[in-house]
Structures are given as C-alpha cells and as structure tokens.
C-alpha cells in the first residue's frame, strides 16, 4: 500500500510540474453515499470517495487521462481485539485504479486514432443498459446503478472514412464482473434448490478464471458505424467471454444419513460471440434508439457429483439468443422529460428460456433554472411469466430529488421502493426498501 | 391643373423610387444580418458566460467555441469542473450531437431537446447553433428608425420553433443585429437578446458582449468574448463526432 501511495505522490508531482508547462489539468470530486433500510433503520451503504482525474496533452498528437478513486467505507470489520489495532479494519478503504490511457491521434494514418491502456469502452445507443456493450465487464457492486462498467486493459483503434467509423478492440486479459455485495449479494442469482429431504450444511464455490494466454483470455470486437436516412446506425461483433460466472460442476457430499449435505460448486466464464446492431434518431420529434445483441454461447456441460456417481447435463445450451432494447425520450411542452426503455434480457440473464422483460421509465422536471431536478416517478418493472403475470412480477420505484445549490455541488436524496411476486430480481429484494442521501462536489 | 397633377405624380414616383432604392427588403436585411454575423470563414472564440438569477446570484462557465461558415459550430466547456469536457456539435441539416464525458458517449440530440436550455443557460440548444435566421424565418420590415431596421420574424412553414415570432433590431450601417425579442406561443415576450460592444476585428464586425435574458424566469446569461481568432483556416475535422470527445 505504501508503494501505491508513493506512485500517486510521484504522479502528483509529475503532473503538478507539467501543469505549469503544458495543457495539463488535475480535477476531481468528493462524494458521499449513504443509504438506510426503511423498515429497521439499518444502514446498508456508507461510502465516502475522493476521485482524482489527471488529464493532459503536450500537443495535438496525443492526450492522456487517468482516474483514481480512494474510497472509505463506514462499516468496521471488527471481530476481535486485535482488529481494533488496524485502521484499515476500523475504517475500511480501498484504492481503485480506474482509467489510465493514452490517446494517439492520427497514428500512422491521417484518419486513425488509437487509445491504449485501461479504459471504458461503451458501445450501444441505449441508456445504461447496452446488450451490445460487452467489452467492459459489468460493475454491479451497486446493484441499483445499472450500466456501470469496470475498466479493461485494451487497445482501441478507430478509423474514420467518409461517413463511416470503423472500430476495433483487442483486450488481452480477462476481467470478471464485479458482483453485488452485502444484502444485495443474492439479487442476481437464483436460490439453490435441493430435493425433498436434503438439507444444506455448508456451501462453497471455486471460480476458475480463464488462463491468461492469447487463446483463452483474449477478447476482440469490431464495429462499423454510419449515418443513414438521418439515423446513426452501427453493427458490431464481439468474441470473448461472459463476464458473469456460470456453475459447471457441483459436488454434493452427504454428511449424515439424515440428508445433510455439503455442496461445493465450480464456476467458469463461458466463451461467447455477440453480433450486435444499434440505431438512434428521431421519429416525429421523439428521440428513439434501439439495440439488439444476438448471442452465440459455447455449450457448457454441467457435472453433478454425488459420492461416486456423476450426472451430466447441460448448464448452458449453445442455442443463440437475442437480447434487445427499444427506447425513447421526449420533452413535453410543460418541461417534463420522459425517458423509457423496453428491455428483453437483463445483464445476468442467459439463454432463450431465461430472458425476462423489463420496462424502465423516468419522468423528470427541472425547476429554478435547473437548480432543482425532481423525479417523481422513475424505476423499472419486470415480468417473468406473462401467462401468470400477477404472480410473477417485480418493480423498483425510484423517486429522487437533486439540488444543485452552487456550481460543482450536487445533493441527491431519494428512495428505492421494491416489491414483487415470484422469482425475479426485484421481488428477491422486496424487503430492502431504502432511502439514500448523496452529495458530490467537483473541483 | 393637369401639369400640376403630372408634376406631383412624377414627384411621388421619384420619392418612392428613392425610398425603394435606399431601403432593402426585409428579407435582404435579414440575409445581410446573417452574413455579417457569420462573415468570417472561421472563428475560434474563448467565452466566459455569467448566469445571473433574479436574486443576483451568479454562476460562471468558461467555454471555447469553434465555428466555420454559418453551419458548423463546436462548443466545449472548460469550467466549472462538473461540466468540463461537455461538448456540443452543431452541423448542417439541423444535426446536433452532445458529448458527456461521464457517460463516455456521443449522443445525437433529439429534436425535442433542441428547445431546452443549454447547460442551464438562457440559450436553447437551437439558439446555440450557428445563426441562420433568413433560412428559418420570414421577415417583415416593421419600422426604420434613424439608424436601425426593425424586423418581425415568423418561423417559415414547416420549421418548428419554440418561438412564435421574433422582433429584431438591425443596425443600418453594418447590418449587425443589436437586439432580438423572442415571443412564446402565446405571443408574450419571453426572451431578450442584446449584442453589445460591437467593434471591427480586421474586416469583420464582432460583438464582444452578448446577453440573453429570460424575462419569465428573470434570469440572464451574459457572454463575454475573452479571446477571438478569425480566419485561421480551421479544418472541417474539428466539426466531427471524432473531435467532439477530444480534449484538444
């Protein structure tokens, strides 16, 4: 950790010195995020964050950018006296090395730009939920912050020819998605089901990451974009891996004759190919967009080991499936802004049988010269079985007020109200209604 | 008597002819006005915007604006910190794009947003596009004062604007627009735009100060030109989605 601080210190000195000499800047923000469950007043999130952004360019030929985040969490992890002697246990914190990349403009060719380094690559025209954006893994740490992506170390080359843009990406190493934690840990996973009479004592799992070599961990993607009939259009292809783990082996070890078992699971990241297409434009004054991702997964076999007996089945079929989003936005004459999207297949859903339908919506209105923004109605609804939708639905409502008292200062308060029936993401969290308070100052 | 009538008629014809020759049509005035404002082949301007609310509270934004001809304009925010890097591109055929660094995406601006306020200012996205009033409005000459033409502008058939009409004051000596009143759909005065400190930079007339006031909100946005470079041969590549997300 000392080494990390030293590196940051050196970076700061270098950037500070450079600042005076060239077009360099150091910006950042301070952020606090606090959440509380409404039913028992327990705090679920208490985070303070300092983000620093370094940016600069000595010439028109290149540009560099880096962002680091220092985050402190207010929940001590203390279980014994010795823990009280460590500040990192009392006040947990981490350092996130987010983006760090170099842009090379007109690199070798007049119309070629290259970006090398740790970066976020967002493809797709939809808001936050992008089935065609598969290069960067999902960052689902905050499960309500849909669409947040983690960075990947990669090379992105973009070539411009007339009205066409050709992009190619190579990611040498595999980075898995960040999963939800704490009370949200089970939000994206189905509960384990056991035959009648079987009781779980302990469960464990093992993640098997792909070997970090060219044929196993590499990902590549290509995209061609253009404008046709006043619509922005693109088609893309991705070859890589699903960034969420899939269970391919379960070992069930009987402990006693009463049916008590220990379960050990093994999980892998299946290979997949995605052919994508997206569009954005206007239709009768309404902004519209859409994207579709035709996913072709590799078949994954499932092994269930119970004693000496091994049962084989299919964990993931190689049948292609299609996730898609259709969305639109409109500003009414009274200033109310509406943004809505219909989504077939959320980030964690795979295979034709598992794709569910979601509708996201957000009404917002700004007041006092944009100093106050109120979202009286925002959220998402999901239906997992249209034949019995009364017992298979879920929703999250997210009313929110944002106040900008001064330049660079943002104060947000709101709530997540969840409900539902059946087995779905929102109904699994229905006891977790919470209120939040966030503040951010940029500098 | 007949001679007198002929003389009066001739005199009237001469007077009318003289007036006609001296006063250009409303359409010509508007075209000339657009031409004067967009006269430089290209412009690179550093701007400081001061937003003032009805309580006198002020907010400051700094930005850089690039313009080529009368159809291509790129605006990039330099401050405040939470808006740094936000960039806006206006292209021919009413095509507009916005780059929001936080989202890592260039987004096409839908037509319903074009009449929204641009980044909390009193200018709409549409107002921030390069001004081409003659293309979008039909003009009528309301009045000619000693040194100004006063025009009324009505959106042309098929052109959607959030203003029902405009009233424009144009200088006679150089056709520079000094004041524009914007009326809402109920024909109530909504916004007032004023150009000040109009001086010659080389062969071009430039207003180094402009202010848009929203009379309903009692909120104003004053733009001060801090640096200006004209006819530096800006490349078309500046006005591309490629450049929109670039820092330099």
CB distance from B146 to chain A under 8 Å? no
**Closest Cα of chain B to A27: distance in Å?**
7
End-to-end CA gap in chain A = 26
Find tokens 């006269």 and name the residue: B39
Residue B51's closest chain A neighbor by CA?
A: A369
Is the pLDDT at A18 greater than 60? The verdict is no
Q: Sorting pLDDT into bands at 50, 70 and 90, what band is B127?
A: confident
Mutate to test the interface with A, among B79, B112, B238 (most CBs of A within 10 A): B112
Contact B80 A407 (CB under 8 A): yes
Q: Which residue has the higher pLDDT, A322 or A262?
A: A322
Contact B246 A105 (CB under 8 A): yes
Of B59, B104, B248, the CB nearest to A122: B104
Q: Sorting pLDDT into bands at 50, 70 and 90, what band is A86?
A: confident
Is the pLDDT at A281 greater than 70? The verdict is yes
Listed range (A67-71, A179-183, A359-363) with the worst mean pLDDT? A179-183
Is the pLDDT at B20 greater than 60? The verdict is no
Which pLDDT does position A197 carry in this prediction?
77
CB distance from A160 to chain B under 8 Å? yes
- Within 10 Å of residue A31's Cβ, how many Cβ atoms? 18
> Which candidate, A115, A186, A174, A122, places its Cα nearest to that of A148?
A122
- Within 10 Å of residue B102's Cβ, how many Cβ atoms? 8
Q: Sorting pLDDT into bands at 50, 70 and 90, what band is A362?
A: very high
Candidates 2.50.20.10, 3.40.50.300, 2.60.40.10, 3.10.450.50; correct CATH number of B26-244?
A: 2.50.20.10
Burial class (CB in 10 A: 0-12, 13-18, 19+), B55: exposed
Which pLDDT does position A7 carry in this prediction?
56
Question: DSSP letters of A355-418?
Answer: --EEEEEEEEEEETTTTEEEEEEEEEEEES-GGGGGGSEEEEE--EEEE--STTEEEEEEEEEE
Is the pLDDT at B31 greater than 60? The verdict is yes
Of B103, B219, B241, the CB nearest to A369: B219
Which pLDDT does position B8 carry in this prediction?
57
Is the pLDDT at B104 greater than 90? The verdict is no
Find tokens 């087995």 and name the residue: A423
Tokens at B54, concatenated: 């009805």
Whole-number percent of chain A with pLDDT over 90: 67
Distinct helix (H) and strand (E) counts, chain A: 3, 24
Contact B51 A369 (CB under 8 A): yes
- Per DSSP bridges, beta strands A300-306 and A246-254 are parallel
How confident is the model over A340-347, as a mean pLDDT?
95
Dihedral in degrees, nearest 10, Cα atoms A161, A162, A163, A167: 0
Tokens at A119, concatenated: 């970066």
Which pLDDT does position B11 carry in this prediction?
52
Residues in A closer than 8 angstroms to B110, CB to CB, are 282, 285-288, 329-330
ipTM of model: 0.80
**Closest Cα of chain A to B122: distance in Å?**
8
Contact A442 B80 (CB under 8 A): yes
Which pLDDT does position B143 carry in this prediction?
92
* pLDDT tens digits for range A131-153: 999 999 999 998 888 788 999 99
- Within 10 Å of residue B65's Cβ, how many Cβ atoms? 19
User: Residue A274 and residue A294: Cα distance in Å, rounded?
Assistant: 6
Of A23, A120, A329, the CB nearest to B110: A329
Structural domain boundaries in chain B: 26-244
Residues in A closer than 8 angstroms to B115, CB to CB, are 331
Burial class (CB in 10 A: 0-12, 13-18, 19+), A414: buried
Residues in B closer than 8 angstroms to A103, CB to CB, are 246
Listed range (A68-72, A331-335, B21-25) with the worst mean pLDDT? B21-25
Is the pLDDT at B113 greater than 90? The verdict is no
How confident is the model over A10-25, as a mean pLDDT?
61
* pLDDT tens digits for range B131-184: 789 999 999 999 999 999 999 999 999 888 889 999 999 999 999 999 999 999
Which pLDDT does position B75 carry in this prediction?
93
* pLDDT tens digits for range A384-441: 888 898 899 999 999 999 999 988 999 999 999 999 998 888 888 888 899 999 999 9
Is the pLDDT at B19 greater than 70? The verdict is no
Which pLDDT does position A435 carry in this prediction?
97
Which pLDDT does position A422 carry in this prediction?
87
Q: Sorting pLDDT into bands at 50, 70 and 90, what band is A124?
A: very high
Is the pLDDT at A12 greater than 80? The verdict is no
How confident is the model over B205-217, as a mean pLDDT?
94
Task: Find how far residue A429's CA is from the centre of its chain.
Answer: 18
Contact B104 A331 (CB under 8 A): no
User: Residue A101 and residue A87: Cα distance in Å, rounded?
Assistant: 32
Q: What are phi and psi of B215, to 5 degrees?
A: -75, -25
CB distance from B58 to chain A under 8 Å? no
pLDDT, averaged across chain B: 88
- Note the helical H segments in A44-173: 87-90
How confident is the model over A176-186, as a mean pLDDT?
86
Which pLDDT does position A6 carry in this prediction?
58
User: Residue A31 and residue A49: Cα distance in Å, rounded?
Assistant: 5
Contact A287 B247 (CB under 8 A): no
Is the pLDDT at B185 greater than 60? The verdict is yes
Cβ–Cβ pairs < 8 A, chains A and B: 80
Q: Sorting pLDDT into bands at 50, 70 and 90, what band is A2?
A: low
Residues in A closer than 8 angstroms to B158, CB to CB, are none
Find tokens 């007198």 and name the residue: B4
């Amino acid at each position: 950790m000392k080494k990390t601080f030293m590196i940051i210190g050196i970076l700061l000195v270098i950037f500070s010195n450079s600042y005076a000499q060239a077009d360099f800047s150091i910006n950042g923000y301070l952020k606090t995020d606090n959440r509380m469950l409404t039913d028992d007043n327990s705090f679920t999130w208490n985070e303070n964050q300092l983000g620093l952004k370094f940016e600069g360019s000595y010439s028109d030929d290149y540009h560099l950018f880096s962002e680091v985040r220092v985050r402190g969490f207010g929940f001590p992890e203390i279980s014994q006296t010795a823990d009280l002697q460590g500040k990192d246990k009392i006040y947990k914190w981490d350092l996130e090395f987010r983006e760090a990349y170099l842009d090379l403009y007109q690199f070798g060719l007049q119309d070629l730009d290259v970006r090398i380094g740790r970066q976020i690559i967002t493809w797709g025209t939809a808001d936050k939920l992008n089935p065609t954006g598969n290069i960067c893994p999902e960052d689902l740490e905050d499960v309500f912050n849909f669409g947040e992506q983690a960075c990947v170390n990669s090379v992105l080359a973009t070539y411009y020819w007339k009205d066409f843009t050709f992009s190619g990406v190579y990611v040498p190493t595999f980075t898995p998605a960040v999963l939800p934690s704490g009370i949200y840990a089970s939000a994206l996973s189905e509960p384990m089901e056991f035959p009648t009479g079987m009781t779980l004592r302990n469960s464990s799992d093992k993640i098997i990451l792909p070997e970090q070599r060219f044929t196993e961990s590499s990902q590549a993607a290509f995209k061609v974009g253009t404008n046709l009939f006043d619509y922005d259009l693109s088609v893309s292809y991705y070859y890589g891996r699903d960034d969420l783990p899939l269970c391919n082996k379960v070992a069930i070890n009987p402990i006693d004759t009463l049916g008590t078992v220990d379960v050990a699971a093994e999980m892998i990241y299946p290979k997949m190919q995605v052919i994508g297409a997206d569009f954005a434009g206007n239709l009768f004054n309404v902004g519209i967009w859409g994207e579709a991702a035709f996913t072709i997964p590799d078949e994954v076999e499932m092994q269930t080991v119970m004693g000496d007996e091994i049962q084989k089945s299919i964990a993931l079929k190689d049948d292609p499936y299609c996730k898609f989003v259709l969305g639109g936005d409109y500003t009414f004459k009274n200033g109310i802004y509406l943004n809505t999207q219909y989504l077939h297949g959320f980030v964690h859903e795979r295979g034709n049988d598992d794709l569910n339908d979601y509708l996201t919506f957000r009404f917002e209105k700004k007041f006092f010269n944009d100093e106050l923004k109120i979202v009286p109605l925002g959220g998402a609804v999901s239906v997992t079985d249209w034949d019995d939708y009364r017992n298979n639905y879920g929703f999250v409502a997210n009313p929110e007020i944002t106040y900008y008292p001064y330049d660079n200062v943002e104060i947000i308060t709101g709530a997540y109200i969840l409900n539902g029936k059946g087995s779905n993401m929102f109904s699994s969290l229905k006891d977790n209604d919470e209120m939040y308070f966030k503040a951010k100052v940029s500098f | 008597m007949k001679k007198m009538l002929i003389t009066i008629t001739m005199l009237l014809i001469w007077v009318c002819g003289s007036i006609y020759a001296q006063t250009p049509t409303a359409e010509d005035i508007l075209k000339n006005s657009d031409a004067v404002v967009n006269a430089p082949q290209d412009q690179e301007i550093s701007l400081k915007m001061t937003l003032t609310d009805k309580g006198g509270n002020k907010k400051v934004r700094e930005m850089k604006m690039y313009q080529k001809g009368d159809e291509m304009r790129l605006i990039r925010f330099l401050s405040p910190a939470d808006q740094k890097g936000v960039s806006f591109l206006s292209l021919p055929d009413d095509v507009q794009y916005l780059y929001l660094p936080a989202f890592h995406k260039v987004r096409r601006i839908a037509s319903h947003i074009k009449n929204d306020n641009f980044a909390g200012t009193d200018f709409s996205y549409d107002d921030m596009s390069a001004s081409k009033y003659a293309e979008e409005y039909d003009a009528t000459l309301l009045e000619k004062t000693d040194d100004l033409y006063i025009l009324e502008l009505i959106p042309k058939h098929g052109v959607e604007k959030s203003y029902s009409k405009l009233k424009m004051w144009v200088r006679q000596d150089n056709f520079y627009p000094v004041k524009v009143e914007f009326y809402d759909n109920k024909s109530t005065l909504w916004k007032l735009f004023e150009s000040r400190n109009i001086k010659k930079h080389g062969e071009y007339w430039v207003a180094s100060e402009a202010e848009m006031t929203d009379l309903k909100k009692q909120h104003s946005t004053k733009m001060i030109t801090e640096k200006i470079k004209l006819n530096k041969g800006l490349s078309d590549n500046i006005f591309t989605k490629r450049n929109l997300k670039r820092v330099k």
